[in-house]
Structure formats: structure tokens, C-alpha cells
Amino acid sequence: MSQMTTRPQIDRRVGKAVNVGEVRRLRILRSLSGYLFLAPALLYLLGVSIYPLISTIQMSFMEVEQGGWQVVGLQNYANLLRDLWFWNSLKIISVVAVASTVLHISIGMALALLLNEHWFSIILRNFMRGILIFTWMFSTAAAALMWSLLFHPFGLFNYLAKTLFDLSAPVEFLGNTSLALWSVIVVGAWKYYPYYMLMILGGLQTIPLELYEAAKVDGANYWHRFRHVTLPLLRPVLIVISTIDMIATFSHVDLFKMLTRGGPLRTTEVVAYYIYKSALLDGNLGYGAAISTFVLMCLVVFMVVYMRILSRGGETGETSF
């Protein structure tokens, strides 16, 4: 839009000095130098991101046999479709994706609404916002360690559980087949919610105050204002962040690798951890690549559907992108 090559100021000046053919040559040169600015970064991404990505897809048709790579065709995919543990890992990650999206957005929404209220002191408000973003900054490794101390059989949570519910045996938060997954989900929600809170807060701040005033004049109470002003206007933001959240969740592996290693009884074996395990622990590199490719395909389908939803919203004027 505002490319300099078409800016009259410069062109006029160049035009004064040189003839038309030379101007054209200069323009080509200019856009060539544009590519020169891009080249280092693009070549880097081509070599270090795109090429490995393509070779993941390529390796999914191969397997290491007798010390060398052999082409096995669709064998890995055939195994994949029959592999119940693979479907199990997809099922688990879907539960995690939905649960953490719901948690992130509800926690984020509640806190964003509070922070968006009128505070008597801006400094206090910004301080609280800082405190509430704080958890985002810790590494997954540090977060996993903090929480495993809390989850410890003699830790704080067990003390609370014991005093509140009068339990006799300690709760194995990470060792119980029905609890472990939820424990990891809670740690993930704790670690990642600040991003969603900030995104929602940003969305709230774009809603014009007049709309609330008008709704108030019409006699709308807080819930009505939230339901009929805030939510519809936040819809685009909510769609975007929930999609980002779902996609991000698919790649989550750190917490599962550290806290539970897929256990107990493979109840927390999410698909990303299954890739890691098949490829690097069991040595089936080709099979791991096939799972990776499958996951990538799922994400592409997911994103296409999401773009559709967005553009359909755009046609009816509901979303504003």
C-alpha cells in the first residue's frame, strides 16, 4: 500500500533527473533490494523450518531397517490406523484441548473483566495485572517442579484434601489414573492463562463505553450488558484465541513428559508425547514422522475450517477483520 517505489515524491525527483527507461530500471533495482532485505530470514526459515518439515513428511514413508533408511510406502500409515494407542493419544489430547481452552477463556475472561473495571488506583490495577501475568514467564520445567511439590503425597494439596475432606490415604494427584490428566491440565491452565487474559483484556478495551451507557439507559443490568454488548463484540477475539489455544495444545509435550511421562497406564499419553516416545525412545523414527504428518494434516484441516468460519462471519458483518 505505502510502498516507496510508487511514491510520487521520489519518482518525481528521479523523473526529473533521468529518462523513463532508467526510472523503470531503478524501480526494478529497488524491488530487488527489497528481496535482498528478505533473503537472509527467508533462506534461514527455508533451511531450518521448511526443509525439516518436508523431510518429516518424506520420512513418514520410510523406516529405519538394518541400520539404513528403507522406503516402506504407506506401511507406517497402515500401522497408524490400526494403532489403538495412537487413537487413545488423540482422544486424550482432544480432552486436554477442550478442557484447557474452556479453562483459559473462563479464567481469562473473569480476570479481564475485573481488570477492565474502573479501579480507584491505576497503579494498583497495573500492579495486579503484572502479578496476574507472572506465571506466564516461568519455564515449563520450573512450573512442573513447583507443582510436583504441591502434588506430593505429603504436600500442601494433600494436607488441604485431608483436612477438608477427611481422607485417610494421600491422594496421588499424578499417580491416579482418573486424576493425573486433570492435574496436568490444571498446571497447563495455570501456566498459559495470562496470554488469553491479556488478549481478552485487549478486546474489552476496544469496546466503546457509549454502548454500555446506552444499554444502561435502556435499563440493562450487568448480566444483560455482558450478554448483549460484551460477548457479541468479543466474539472475533474469542474465536481467534480459542483456535490458537487448540492448536497450541496439540504441541504441548513438556509438562506431560516431565510430570507423568504418559502414565499412569498411558492415561496422559498425549499425541505429542506419543511422537516423542515412538521416535526417540522406541527408535521408530519413520513411525514418529507418520504421526507427526497426521497431526499436521489435522491442524491444517482445523485451520481451514476456522478460516471458513471467520470469513463467513465477515460476510454477514459479524466479525470485523
Partner 1 sequence: MKRASELPRRARSVIGQVFVVGSTMTVAIIIMIPIIWMLNAAVRPIKEILVYPPMLIPQQITFEYFGSIIRNEQYQRFFLNSIILSLSTLAASIGLGLPAAYGFSRFRIRGGRIMLLSIMALLMLPPVTLIIPYFRLAKAFRFYDTVSGLIIVNIAFALPLVIWLLKAYVDSIPVELEEAALIDGCNRLQALQKILMPLAIPAIIGVGTFAFIAAWNEYLMAAVLTDTPRSQVITIGLSLFFGQRFRDWNAIMALATLSSLPLMIIFIFFQRWVVQGMTSGAVK
Is 276 a residue that touches partner 1 (CB under 8 A)? yes
Among 61, 296, 310, 313, binds partner 1 (CB under 8 A): 296
CA distances from 226 to 199, 211, 219, 319 (A): 17, 11, 13, 18
Is 144 a residue that touches partner 1 (CB under 8 A)? yes
Task: Decide whether 86 or 276 has the Cβ nearer to partner 1.
Answer: 276
Among 15, 34, 73, 232, binds partner 1 (CB under 8 A): 34
Among positions 69-98, residues that touch partner 1 (CB under 8 A) are none
Is 147 a residue that touches partner 1 (CB under 8 A)? yes
Q: Which residues make beta-bridge pairs with 70?
A: 63
- Closest by CA to 173, choosing from 161, 187, 183, is 183
Among positions 186-225, residues that touch partner 1 (CB under 8 A) are 190, 194-195, 198-199, 201-202
Which of 77-85, 155-163, 223-231, 312-320 is the region at the interface with partner 1 (rule: CB under 8 A)? 155-163
| Amino acid type, 47 | G
Task: Decide whether 267 or 319 has the Cβ nearer to partner 1.
Answer: 319
Which of 8-16, 17-25, 74-82, 226-234 is the region at the interface with partner 1 (rule: CB under 8 A)? 8-16
Please return the burial class of 216, using the count of CB atoms within 10 Å of its CB with bins 0-12, 13-18 and 19+. Answer: middle
Run of H or E including 301: helix 285-315
* Direct distance between the N- and C-terminal alpha carbons of the chain, in angstroms, rounded to an integer: 17
Among positions 225-254, residues that touch partner 1 (CB under 8 A) are 237, 240-241, 244, 247-248, 250-251, 253-254
Q: Which residues make beta-bridge pairs with 71?
A: 62
